[in-house]
């Protein structure tokens, strides 16, 4: 019985994976470049101090606005980190595909050598 991961490796269309790996890497690099080219947004100016007679609703809204700006900044940082992770994964995927292709070539060569050795053994045995 074959191991499940061997079956999974046979099901994967490696030709398509190898064909599309450079495109994925290029797209990931473009995504990272776009993220880096995006102009760094200057932090918005701090809201002016509120007068003492300001209604509590305005003070509450100003606090919520500041909190939302901070949350937006954190989300942007997370997005930049995720973009870099995608680019790193695309590069790893490309290296993995290249390694798999090299292993496929070596396996074919090994099978050809084994077949030749088998034929030579049959030929020697028949003499």
Each residue's pLDDT expressed in tens, for the chain with a length of 127 residues: 456 766 666 777 777 777 777 777 777 777 777 777 766 655 666 666 666 666 768 778 888 899 999 999 988 888 888 888 888 888 888 888 888 889 999 999 999 999 999 999 999 999 8
User: What is the rounded distance in angstroms from the CA atom of residue 75 to the CA atom of residue 4?
Assistant: 39
Q: How many residues does the chain have?
A: 127
For residue 7, being part of any structural domain is answered with no
For residue 93, being part of any structural domain is answered with yes
For residue 57, being part of any structural domain is answered with no
For residue 19, being part of any structural domain is answered with yes
Give yes or no for a contact between 103 and 52, defined as CB atoms under 8 angstroms apart.
no
Count of structural domains within the chain: 1
For residue 115, being part of any structural domain is answered with yes
CB neighbour burial string for 103-119, b if at least 16 within 10 angstroms, e if fewer: eeeeeeeeeeeeeeeee
**47 closest CA partner among 74, 21, 68, 73:** 68
Give this prediction's pTM. Answer: 0.50
What is the largest distance, in Å, between two alpha-carbon atoms of the chain? 111
For residue 91, being part of any structural domain is answered with yes
Range of the domain at 93: 14-36+63-126
């Amino acid at each position: 019985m074959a191991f499940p991961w061997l079956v999974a490796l046979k099901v994967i269309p490696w030709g398509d994976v190898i064909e599309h790996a450079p495109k994925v890497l290029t797209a990931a690099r473009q995504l990272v470049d776009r993220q880096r080219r995006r102009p760094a947004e200057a932090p918005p100016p701090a809201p002016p101090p509120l007068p003492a007679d300001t209604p509590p609703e305005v003070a509450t809204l100003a606090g919520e606005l500041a909190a939302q700006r901070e949350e937006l900044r954190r989300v942007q940082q997370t997005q930049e980190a995720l973009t870099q992770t995608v680019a790193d994964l695309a590069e790893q995927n490309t290296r993995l595909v290249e390694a798999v292709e090299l292993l496929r070539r070596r396996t074919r060569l090994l099978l050809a050598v084994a077949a030749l050795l088998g034929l030579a053994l049959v030929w020697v045995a028949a003499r």
